[in-house]
């Protein structure tokens, strides 16, 4: 499903300062797996997510998803790949505060030029799935943190992607809301989604729904 082969990722801050975020790593994730990438801040977890989502390209090595070499795609085709295959749950939600819940969710569908009936059907499905139908007309800025996260998760699922990527999804949540997020994870896993979570939150490290934990430190998988 997902393969990272001999991946190195370097960021050039300036000519005399080059940071190695990932150092010749190899990683395979099977379809339907729920995998946790664990490690401290700056360890390379988020970089792995960005490579899988084709948001960035490796300095060397290959990223392969469903037998497609996505690290070789042009920017336009990378956007198409994300639209059709990946739902991304960001740490800070990346919602537009002055738009409503439904407006934030359907933004992901704009590039697809879908008929309004199809959009309404997709919207209704995720509003119901994540229990926010009664909030659909509220402005996002008036929602609680947990409700905003549900909107972000609904947006990530609106295109029915195969892959869900979550970057520090519980960083802004209290314990009860974190437990609620785990219940959502169970639903996504039951649907057969491939889920990859980057986190250093210990709440994930003892869950029976996690198939594998992968330790990353200073850009190296241990």
Q: For residues 96 and 118, what is the distance between their CA atoms, to the nearest angstrom? A: 23
CATH number, residue 111: 3.40.50.300
From 78, 89, 14, select the one nearest 51 (Cα to Cα).
78
Which residue range(s) make up the domain with 36? 2-221
Q: Is the pLDDT of residue 78 over 80?
A: yes
- Judged on CB neighbours under 10 Å (0-12, 13-18, 19+), 89 is buried
pLDDT in tens, 108-160: 888 888 899 999 999 999 999 898 999 999 999 999 988 999 999 999 999 99
Q: pTM for the full model?
A: 0.91
For the beta carbon of residue 92, count every other beta carbon within 10 angstroms. 11
Q: Is the pLDDT of residue 16 over 90?
A: no
pLDDT in tens, 161-213: 999 999 999 988 888 888 989 999 999 999 999 999 999 999 998 899 999 99
Domain count, the chain: 1
Provide DSSP, 172-221.
T--HHHHHHHHHHHHHHHHTT-EEEEEE--GGGTT-TT--EEEEEETTEE
Number of helical H runs and strand E runs in the chain: 6, 10
């Amino acid at each position: 499903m997902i393969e990272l082969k001999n991946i190195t990722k370097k960021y050039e801050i300036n000519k005399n300062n080059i940071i190695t975020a990932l150092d010749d790593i190899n990683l395979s994730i099977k379809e339907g797996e729920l995998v946790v990438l664990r490690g401290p801040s700056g360890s390379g977890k988020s970089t792995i997510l960005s490579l899988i989502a084709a948001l960035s390209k490796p300095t060397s090595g290959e990223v392969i998803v469903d037998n497609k070499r996505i690290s070789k795609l042009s920017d336009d085709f990378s956007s198409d790949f994300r639209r059709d295959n990946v739902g991304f749950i960001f740490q800070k939600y990346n919602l537009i505060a002055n738009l409503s819940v439904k407006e934030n969710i359907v933004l992901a569908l704009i590039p697809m030029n879908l008929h309004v009936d199809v959009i309404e059907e997709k919207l209704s499905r995720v509003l119901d799935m994540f229990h926010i139908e009664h909030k659909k007309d509220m402005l996002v800025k008036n929602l609680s943190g947990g409700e905003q996260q549900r909107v972000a998760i609904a947006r990530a699922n609106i295109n029915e992607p195969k892959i869900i990527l979550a970057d520090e999804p519980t960083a802004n949540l209290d314990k009860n809301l974190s437990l609620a997020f785990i219940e959502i994870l169970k639903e996504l896993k039951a649907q057969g989604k491939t889920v990859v979570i980057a986190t250093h939150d210990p709440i994930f490290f003892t869950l029976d729904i996690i198939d594998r934990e992968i330790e990353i430190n200073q850009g190296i998988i241990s």
